[in-house]
Amino acid sequence: MSGCDLTFRYAACDERRNIMDLTALGAAIAAFTGIGAGIGIGIATAKAVDAVARQPEASNKIMTLLILGGALAEATAIYGMIVALLIIFA
């Protein structure tokens, strides 16, 4: 028998549904970090392409900074994914 079959089944079921709904909401909000990281990397890449087009001789330095910024943005997305998984499964 599940907890919803007990004497106070309606209150117990409502409480579980509310907790599950809030868990899904929290995981969805945490997953939005992937969207932010994707937008950030896209904007950074566009700016790097513009900078290389204006000063081709500085392309090595620009690409180094672009890769460093992209790695930091990806790390943020990975942290968001880990938080979302922890919210769902913990």
> pLDDT tens across 41-68, in order?
999 999 999 999 999 999 999 999 999 9
> Look-up: residue for tokens 């994914």?
81
What token pair was written down for 27? 């995981």
Average the pLDDT over 61-79 and give the result. 92
pLDDT digits (tens, 9 = 90+) for 9-38: 555 566 667 777 788 888 888 888 888 889
Q: Tell me what pLDDT residue 19 has.
A: 72
Half-sphere exposure at residue 28, Cβ-oriented, CA atoms within 13 angstroms:
6
Q: Tell me what pLDDT residue 6 has.
A: 52
What token pair was written down for 30? 């945490």
What residues make up the domain containing 58? Answer: 3-89
Q: Tell me what pLDDT residue 29 has.
A: 84
**DSSP tag of 3:** G
> Look-up: residue for tokens 């028998």?
1
Number of domains in the chain: 1
Rounded distance between C-alpha atoms, residue 34 and residue 73, angstroms = 9
The CATH number of residue 40's host domain is: 1.20.20.10
**Residues 52, 62 contacting (CB under 8 angstroms):** yes
